[in-house]
Structure 1
Amino acid sequence: MTYPKKAMLGGALLATTLMAGGLVQADDFPSQPLTMVIGFGAGGSTDIQGRVLANVLEDELGQPVNVVNQPGAGMGVALTRLVNNDDEGYTFLYGPTSPITFGPLATEVDYDMDDFRYISAVSLAQAGIVTGEDRPFGDSWEELLDYARENPGVSYATQTAQDRLIIDYIAEQEGLDLRIVPTAGGAGMAPLILSGDVDFAYSGGTHSGYADSGEMPVLLSLAEDRLVAFPDAPTLVEAGYDITPGDILMAALPKGVPDERAERLAQALEAATQDERFIEVTEERLLLPVNYMDEEELTDTLYAQRDAFAELIDEMGGVEAPE
């Protein structure tokens, strides 16, 4: 059968239009609201920062970004949700990296590092080893070590399997006999430190609230660099320990998300690190440094941290979780 030339051109034009429309639709991301999952409860530093970040991303992406808090198992519940998500980029996680680099090495979980794409880092955590005012060793790490050697049973408040591993390593290196006191988060640690019931402790960020008052001096930085609000505290490496456990605050997606969608989200996250709203809450309120890493740099960093944790766990003969 022979078709009129006009009909053939019309059909070709229609096909081209449909194909173009399909391409536009495929690249038109996001075309509906997104969900940011935060693996901790409302009101904490990750939640405060994440909600401001969500507001900035809404402006960058042109769609609402709804924040869902899904605490449990040290962010493990949120990561399990993400690994089972199949909406191709509309749900992403915001939070620290240690539940991914350390968590699967320390406990049985339903995910591993290869299950995710690490899209961008936007900030660095500021964990530290802290003490209180008027301690016999002041706020000096070296003086604490001398005091602890002379006084077996100096007390240390632990919160996580990761900080317990680090302090066990330090105690072994320095010949310390510590009394370990398990605590539940910063809310459990702070009263013990402020009252003097424990000598020193791990703090994931609670100490930042005492930067002005001086009630919770930092003995050691657990970040890669010295802490923004406590520049006099040496890093672990500076103190002679070959450990760099510094947590990074980042966004992650399930592994199979299309490249163009991951890249679109990464562009929005990079723009957010230059937005005054995000800078203000991060640097001035939470006392955290804004620090952007792209997917390649972030992924390489996380795998290097995971390998270092694995070596440390092997050297220490396993992980002992807080009671």
Structure 2
Amino acid sequence: MKIKLLTTAILSSAMALGMAGTAQADEFPTKPLTLVVGFGAGGSTDIQARVLANVLEDELGQPVNVVNQPGAGGGVALARLANNTDEGYTFVFGTSMTITFGPLSTETTYQLDDFRYVAGVTLGQSAMVTGEDREFGDTWEGLIEYARENPGTSYATQTALDRMIIEYIARQEGLDLRIVPTAGGAGMAPLILSGDVDFGYSGGTHSGYADSGEMPVLLSLAEDRLVAFPDAPTLQEAGYDINAAEIRVVMVPKDVPDAHVARLAEALEAATQDERFIEITEERILMPVTYIPEDEVTQTLADQVEGYKALLEELGGLPEDEE
């Protein structure tokens, strides 16, 4: 009888612990969360993140504090996140380029499989752009023809990824370009608008000139044509077999419990239907809002990594000044 009673007590305790664990997971979150942005304050990612944090507070019932950790194109924030152990209370909102191409272009302390990709919420709108009243007009075909006839046509680069893309295009088209490194959109825009540089890469700065027409888009680097510049062809439409599509995604360390990831995903899906998030994203920074679940995001990013590896192999690596 004592053995039976003892066994019953042990089973009851185990069941109680199991139920407590389930309840604890179901209650996530029980304290404030931290949304980390890997870029400085004031940029489009930061602006979007702050509205996203407000929406998530309502959905999760806890404060969501935004912290900026700029550096290495978002890499500093991911390096810190990889070592985080708070089970989903800290997460990064950033661009997929940081995790797909970053570890291929420079030495990092993290890789793709160090994280879980809770959900994508926005599709990036990066592009090749130019200024008004250029000799080659405002079409990609016009630029290519002009650049073939004018060696030294100048290109403003911002990232290792866009540098690789333009290197590939230059080889395909037989172009001899002059590459001008710039520090982000703030460095690129004055050179393009003044005419000091012929064309360049823009991660989103061009959206601010959609109404004025001062920065025409020549080529979309997104999977589809850009929302605000539907006349510009995509990379694939222009004949280049590259998938450089950017997803703005929420990332957590790989060991975060499934229940916590599921709760964050649920809140993020609700955010993509919230008018506040839609307004700031689609009307202000001119990027389409879309919900992409974890499994789809993860597969897309893995496919991109393989594509970039193949392209780097074809090119023989990055140009020396970008390695």
Scaled to the shorter chain, the TM-score interval is over 0.9
Structure 2: distance between partners of 1:11 and 1:168: 67
- Report the more deviating stretch, 263-272 or 25-34: 25-34
Structure 2: distance between partners of 1:13 and 1:176: 75
User: For 1:43-78, what per-residue CA distance to the aligned partner results, in whole angstroms no more than 9, with x for missing partners?
Assistant: 000000011001101111111111110000111100
Contact 1:158 1:322 in 2 (8 A): no
Structure 2: distance between partners of 1:223 and 1:18: 49
**Is 1:303 paired with 2:297?**
no
Give the SS at the match of 1:63.
coil
Counting only pairs closer than 5 Å after superposition, residues 228-243 of structure 1 correspond to structure 2 as: 228-243=227-242
Structure 2: distance between partners of 1:14 and 1:255: 30
Mark the CA change 1:30 to 1:200 in structure 2 (over 3 Å): closer, same or farther. Answer: same
Mark the CA change 1:231 to 1:20 in structure 2 (over 3 Å): closer, same or farther. Answer: same
Over the aligned positions, Cα root-mean-square deviation in angstroms equals 2.0
Counting only pairs closer than 5 Å after superposition, residues 209-224 of structure 1 correspond to structure 2 as: 209-224=208-223
User: For 1:162-196, what per-residue CA distance to the aligned partner results, in whole angstroms no more than 9, with x for missing partners?
Assistant: 10000010000000011111111000000001100
User: For 1:239-268, what per-residue CA distance to the aligned partner results, in whole angstroms no more than 9, with x for missing partners?
Assistant: 000011011000011000111111110011
Q: What does residue 184 of structure 1 align with?
A: 183
Q: What does residue 291 of structure 2 align with?
A: 292
Q: What does residue 157 of structure 2 align with?
A: 158
- Runs of at least 5 residues in structure 2 that lack an aligned partner in the other structure: none
TM-score (norm 2): 0.95
Mark the CA change 1:217 to 1:25 in structure 2 (over 3 Å): closer, same or farther. Answer: same
TM-score (norm 1): 0.95
Q: Which runs of 4+ in 1 moved over 4 A?
A: 8-19
Identity of paired residues, percent? 70
User: For 1:104-138, what per-residue CA distance to the aligned partner results, in whole angstroms no more than 9, with x for missing partners?
Assistant: 01110000011000110000110000000010011
Give the SS at the match of 1:300.
helix
Counting only pairs closer than 5 Å after superposition, residues 111-122 of structure 1 correspond to structure 2 as: 111-122=110-121
Q: What does residue 145 of structure 2 align with?
A: 146
Q: What does residue 208 of structure 1 align with?
A: 207
What amino acid sits opposite 1:157 in the alignment?
A: A
What amino acid sits opposite 2:223 in the alignment?
A: E
Q: What does residue 45 of structure 1 align with?
A: 44
Q: What does residue 247 of structure 2 align with?
A: 248
Q: CA deviation at 1:319?
A: 1.2
Q: What does residue 105 of structure 1 align with?
A: 104
Structure 2: distance between partners of 1:278 and 1:232: 26
- Runs of at least 5 residues in structure 1 that lack an aligned partner in the other structure: none
Mark the CA change 1:269 to 1:194 in structure 2 (over 3 Å): closer, same or farther. Answer: same
Q: CA deviation at 1:27?
A: 2.7
Give the SS at the match of 1:88.
coil
Q: What does residue 319 of structure 1 align with?
A: 318
